[in-house]
Amino acid sequence: MKISSKNISVSIGNTEIVKDINIKANEGSFIGIIGPNGSGKSTFLKSLYRVLRPSCGDFYLDDENLSLMPYKSSAKKMAVVNQHNYYNFDFTVFEVVLMGRAPHKKALEKDNQHDYKLVDEALEKVEMTNFKNRVFSSLSGGEQQRIMLARALAQDTKCLVLDEPTNHLDIKHQLKIMDLSKKLGVTVIAALHDLNIAATYCDYLYVLKEGSIFSQGSPKDVLTEELIESVYEVPTKIFKDKENKRIHIAYLSGE
Ligand SMILES: Nc1ncnc2c1ncn2[C@@H]1O[C@H](COP(=O)(O)OP(=O)(O)OP(=O)(O)O)[C@@H](O)[C@H]1O
């Protein structure tokens, strides 16, 4: 599924937080949104997954205008893993992941074997099968994050929106979750803080600064020492790996 935004701006109160953002994600591509704290990444993604209404502009899933789509229809196409997942009730892990199936259900339609199979497969993919009967709120932050990805996988969509998908995860699980998201072959739009992860997994990056797109392009083109210094105010040294053409970023602060 293709995703695009045309001239998206988002205001909260009288402040314009996101300013005239145009992005394009081709089918199956992995798109990174990067930028410092407060640059508008989450606000932009929230307007994509319809928690915030843009003050201007439109999103398109393929060529369909998102704002004209019923919420249930867009939830069949787009799953979300966001930064804060709080449940006030004691749902089990199984129940939380099963919630991913809700957009596919008609009113009063019961869960069936197909739903249970997708839940089991999703838990297996994030290596959380043994946690199926645990109370969600009793899990660690990283475990909860993997369950929220399992819920998104059970939703079985062609597009995945990830807002800082790895912020609670240890390095092994950061890489596993990114590998898994990449291998799904669906269109992914992810807000990321870790620039080495962004360089490794993203096909294309948009760099936000103060709510606007400051730069865009392939990780190799965008993640230069000059750009990182001017956007993040941190000196870096970029190493190029000749064999697989990946770049590696070393931060020089503190030296
Ligand atoms: N509900 C709100 N009311 C007022 N200001 C808000 C609100 N939500 C976000 N903001 C402000 O909008 C700006 C962008 O926030 P946003 O969460 O989109 O940034 P971000 O790039 O995702 O940051 P981070 O990397 O810290 O997660 C911030 O300055 C934030 O304080």
pLDDT score recorded for residue 86:
62
* 145/169 Cα distance (integer angstroms): 8
Q: Report the domain count for the chain.
A: 1
Distance 6 CA to ligand 1 centre (A): 21
pTM (2 d.p.): 0.93
Could you tell me the CA-to-CA distances from 253 to 37, 47, 226, 229, 234 in Å, in that order? 18, 34, 15, 11, 7
* 167/10 Cα distance (integer angstroms): 24
Distance 8 CA to ligand 1 centre (A): 16
Match 């045309």 to its residue by tokens. 6
| Torsion over CA: 232, 222, 45, 195 (sign) | negative
Low-confidence ranges of the chain (pLDDT < 70): 84-88, 244, 254-255
Residue whose CA lies nearest to ligand 1 atom number 27: 37
pLDDT score recorded for residue 82:
86
Q: Domain containing 58 — which CATH number?
A: 3.40.50.300
Could you tell me the CA-to-CA distances from 108 to 9, 104, 123, 193 in Å, in that order? 38, 12, 25, 41
Residue whose CA lies nearest to ligand 1 atom number 17: 42
pLDDT score recorded for residue 87:
67
SS3 assignment, position 211 = coil
Burial of 100 (0-12, 13-18, 19+ CB in 10 A): buried
Per the structure, the complete domain to which residue 110 belongs is given by 3-251
Could you tell me the CA-to-CA distances from 135 to 65, 66, 149 in Å, in that order? 38, 34, 16
Model pLDDT for residues 63-96, shown as the tens digit of each residue: 999 999 999 999 999 999 987 666 667 899 999 9
Q: Please, what is the Cα angle at 211 between 209 and 212, to 5 degrees?
A: 70
pLDDT score recorded for residue 88:
66
Joined tokens for residue 116: 């249970």
* Minimum-distance ligand 1 atom for the alpha carbon of 83: 27
pLDDT score recorded for residue 85:
62
CA atoms within 13 A on the CB side of 228: 23
Distance 94 CA to ligand 1 centre (A): 32
* 237/228 Cα distance (integer angstroms): 10
Residue whose CA lies nearest to ligand 1 atom number 2: 12
Distance 18 CA to ligand 1 centre (A): 10
List residues near ligand 1 (CB under 6 A): 12, 17, 35, 37-43
- For residue 157, the tally of other CB atoms under 10 A from its CB is 23
Burial of 167 (0-12, 13-18, 19+ CB in 10 A): middle
34-40-42-43 Cα dihedral, nearest 10 degrees: -150
What distance lies between CA 134 and its chain's CA centroid? 25
Test site for ligand 1: of 14, 33, 41, most ligand atoms within 8 A of the Cβ: 41
pLDDT score recorded for residue 242:
75
**Parallel, antiparallel or unpaired: strands 3-12 and 15-25:** antiparallel
Residue whose CA lies nearest to ligand 1 atom number 16: 40
